[in-house]
Chains A and B, each alone.
Chain A
């Protein structure tokens, strides 16, 4: 505790710049986006200032049949994006969970080295990490070269431009997001509890189900959310590895801004995406918490 004299003044000095900055350049834009999702699209991008609920109608079903038509494809794309994002979460979790245990049992020198090595990709350019996968997956890429030279295939395989390629790319990018929280909860696990469970006669499987998993659950939840949100809204990975075949909601939003020039519709799609994320995340949290209570 500092001296109470002049506390208010110091607090004001510390908080005012950030408050102003974030209000104007963060909360402000989000609010404007929310508002503009209800406005009429301008002819060449931008917005017209009149109330226009049809952008939402296009996605959710109340078309006026004149300006805008309802098309189920938007919801399909949203659900497909969610599916791809969930698959990404599942694969990253499957990858990271055992590795977290493996690393947590290492001597501490090795431990910090391994964690550094896993966190390192986070510090290196995302676009370059994706580029590496293009080199591997494309028709004349590394994977096909190897398979061809080994005589396993006669013709190059179509590895790019598929849902699998997109999931692979997202997993590759988001692995550190899952690993770090999962690892920290595994690291905080008291080995005595596992011993106690074994001592009380639990089989390894029961110990895992009743002790280890519930205690690492907070890390799993945090990691899942940290992977799910950017995966769902991603447009870089599908546009690099998915091409025209795998369109995610992010690509759709991008198109509205840079190709179709329908900004309000892009804003609408973003709003729906955020709401959908909130829905999925809170549903997930609720379900997981219930399970934790039951356990």
Chain B
């Protein structure tokens, strides 16, 4: 399977709309004007809460559901006219959907069998595909005799054997336990770069998305909230929804007191913070994000600085390497911080200064959606 040069706009989704009738007589917009371009060698993740439309989009690309309006091009030609079995894409299903009546060899070889590939060639490709997913020599076994992780690999082998132009993965790791899941994440990523084809990965697990993806599409209510690299999504969330959905966050609303090219001073209602954001103007109302891990506790002998929030510790939870601190500021707002555990025990009720780097603050854009960006 040779890796060819990537095509930038391999998958083109334009103005995709899809709504469902609800039993109560209303209608739900599963896809509300989706525009998306994906490169031919990209690992792209559709991320969002359940009901955000991510599975609908995957099913539409696979051919299991129809689109109300819009177009989907793959490699320049439209997909929508083709029935599912003629589309050059393959799917790894959520619960694997292995054929229980066929052994592993016949499961993996299914796509070749229905295409009428000669026996010799078929067997060679079956063992090649199983080898690629690290599962040689299980051809004669039944799906029920394999562990969840092994079934997962079979599902992968079965889906790549047809040499699809694009692989769709519908929450394929959700049934695995934590350790196996992180192992599979790395393997999936490796497999993708080895095959050099586009992986469209659907998940509601933000950690998974951040680990594997080249780019992430955050979906909410059938619309794209943000499209970006994991780094962008995590550190520069484009909306309040993305901020709250990805990772732990402290969100403050405040008013800009002073703005200079180097820094801005923002009043959070009784507390003042300094942040490096040149785009703000004085008097503006803003929402500010700071991640809990971007706070650190000032040691007692360090000189105090103005770059700190004072708060009272309410609860400290030991979570292994770190302590999760739940604090309350003077104005009553809660703030959480993630601090490296130390031998010094912190007492509830103790006043703390949570120090930050001014660059750690991110201003959450006020506009609601970013669908038109692309």
User: Interface residues, chain A, CB within 8 Å of chain B?
Assistant: 1, 3-5
Contact = CB atoms under 8 A, between A and B. Distances in A.
A5 B87 CA distance: 13
Contacts of A3: 63-64, 83-85
A251 B79 CA distance: 67
B65 A1 contact: yes
B87 to A, nearest CB: 10
Contacts of B63: 3
Top 6 A-B pairs, shortest CB-CB distance:
A3-B83, A3-B84, A5-B83, A1-B64, A4-B66, A3-B63
11 contacts: A1-B59, A1-B64, A1-B65, A3-B63, A3-B64, A3-B83, A3-B84, A3-B85, A4-B65, A4-B66, A5-B83
B65 to A, nearest CB: 7
Interface string B65-106: 110000000000000000111000000000000000000000
A251 B150 CA distance: 64
A4 B66 CA distance: 7
A3 B82 CA distance: 10
Nearest to B85: A3
Given A1-B65, A5-B83, 9 more contacts: A1-B59, A1-B64, A3-B63, A3-B64, A3-B83, A3-B84, A3-B85, A4-B65, A4-B66
Interface string B41-65: 0000000000000000001000111
A68 B63 CA distance: 69
Contacts of B64: 1, 3
A254 B63 CA distance: 58
Nearest to A5: B83
A3 B59 CA distance: 10
A134 B225 CA distance: 79
B86 to A, nearest CB: 9
Contacts of B59: 1
A8 to B, nearest CB: 13
Nearest to B59: A1
Contacts of B66: 4
Which of A1, A3, A4, A5 has the largest number of chain B CB atoms within 10 A? A3
Contacts of B84: 3
Contacts of B65: 1, 4
A94 to B, nearest CB: 42
Nearest to A4: B66
A6 to B, nearest CB: 8
A5 B66 CA distance: 10
A5 B84 CA distance: 9
A211 B273 CA distance: 61
B322 to A, nearest CB: 38
Nearest to B64: A1
Contacts of A1: 59, 64-65
A4 B67 CA distance: 11
A3 B85 CA distance: 8
A237 B83 CA distance: 58
Nearest to A6: B83
A140 to B, nearest CB: 57
Nearest to B66: A4
A248 B102 CA distance: 55
Nearest to B86: A3
Contacts of A5: 83
Nearest to B81: A5
Interface string B303-337: 00000000000000000000000000000000000
A3 B63 CA distance: 7
Contacts of B83: 3, 5
B151 to A, nearest CB: 22
A59 B49 CA distance: 66
Interface string B97-139: 0000000000000000000000000000000000000000000
B64 to A, nearest CB: 5
A4 B64 CA distance: 7
Contacts of A4: 65-66
A287 B63 CA distance: 50
A9 to B, nearest CB: 13
A3 B64 CA distance: 5
Nearest to B87: A3
A229 to B, nearest CB: 33
A193 to B, nearest CB: 29
A292 to B, nearest CB: 26
A1 B20 CA distance: 15
A1 B85 CA distance: 13
B57 to A, nearest CB: 15
B69 to A, nearest CB: 15
A113 to B, nearest CB: 24
B97 to A, nearest CB: 12
A1 B63 CA distance: 10
A1 B60 CA distance: 12
B164 to A, nearest CB: 17
A2 B154 CA distance: 23
A225 B191 CA distance: 59
A60 B64 CA distance: 59
A3 B81 CA distance: 11
A218 B63 CA distance: 42
Contacts of B85: 3
B273 to A, nearest CB: 52
A226 to B, nearest CB: 31
A180 B36 CA distance: 56
A1 B58 CA distance: 14
A4 B65 CA distance: 7
A1 B55 CA distance: 14
B31 to A, nearest CB: 16
B63 to A, nearest CB: 6
B205 to A, nearest CB: 25
